[in-house]
Amino acid sequence: MLLAILLLSTVDCGGSGASAQGRIAFTSHRDGNWEIYVMDANGSNQNRLTNSPAAVDLFPSWSPDGTRIVFTSNCDGNWEIHVMDADGSNQTNLTNNPAQDGAPSCSPDGGRIAFTSYRDDNWEVYVMDADGSNQTSLTNNPAQDGAPSWSPEGSKIAFASNRDGNDEIYVMDADGSNQTRLTNNPADDWLPTCSPDGSKIAFTSHRDGNDEIYVMDADGSNLTRLTDNAAADLFPSWSPEGSKIVFTSHRDGNWEIYVMDADGSNQPRLTDDADADLYPSWSP
């Protein structure tokens, strides 16, 4: 997991203004540097939001009202959690810590942000208020914990951990209590994302020999594979009504953004760029 949790992961915070409903934020290297872009849900109107030639901007995630985007950036010389308005303005560093912070996920009420941090010389899940205050550790384990995703009612957080010897999907209460393993497979399961109605969790698994997207019920039952491709499929993100999942795939020889129905059918490509497009996040 290690940097895979921080620098290979997905995700929400409050704001004011018009909603960006039906849009997908993502990371692209098409201009020679890793920047945050946004596009319509059908792949049209692709526009760059960040412009940091000397830095890397990754892992965008929308606020619950669609007016802000939280993301990971090293523009201040270290991996930190940043937030910006949905048009790319008002970019602010929220964490300001000498350790590495990344993989942010905002609570459904917009009041808190869960994230992954290496500040205790180990990857742990932290939570803070949406303004960056009250940064508190939720996990405390000698193994690596990260990639948090809130349940839609805000009472639980799904995350990945290798505490039992390999990456598995876990869930805990929002205060860090009652940490429970949901998957149990010799291969790695990671990058969980909760469905909008809270009934399912989509995630990435290597159990079939390469990274594919799976879905299971929120209690870990009824596991189903959604993608079946010789190339890697990963980084799932649900549409706001839960009928579709956007994801990243290397099936055409390059990292591109794809979308599929929630049952795995109808997998069209949304981006078609000579360089990599990754880490999609669907607006509310």
State the Cα–Cα distance between residues 211 and 18, nearest whole angstrom.
36
Residues near 192 by Cβ (< 8 Å), separated by ≥ 6? 147, 149, 158, 159, 160, 169, 201, 202, 203
For domain 3-282, the question of CATH label 2.120.10.30 is answered with yes
| pLDDT of 21 | 53
pLDDT tens by residue, 89-119 = 999 999 999 999 999 998 999 999 999 999 9
Q: Could you read off the pLDDT of 163-222 as tens digits, one per residue?
A: 999 999 999 999 999 999 999 999 999 999 999 999 999 999 999 999 999 999 999 999
pLDDT at 80 over 70: yes
* Integer Cα distance of 119 and 122 in angstroms: 7
* pLDDT tens column, 226-253: 999 999 999 999 999 999 999 999 999 9
Structure tokens at 35: 């920047």
CA distance 85 to 222: 38
Alpha carbon distances (Å) from 254 to 4, 110, 249, 277, 281: 19, 34, 8, 8, 19
Residue 7 pLDDT > 70: no
Q: Which helix (H) or strand (E) holds 127?
A: strand 124-129
Residue 17 pLDDT greater than 50, yes or no:
no
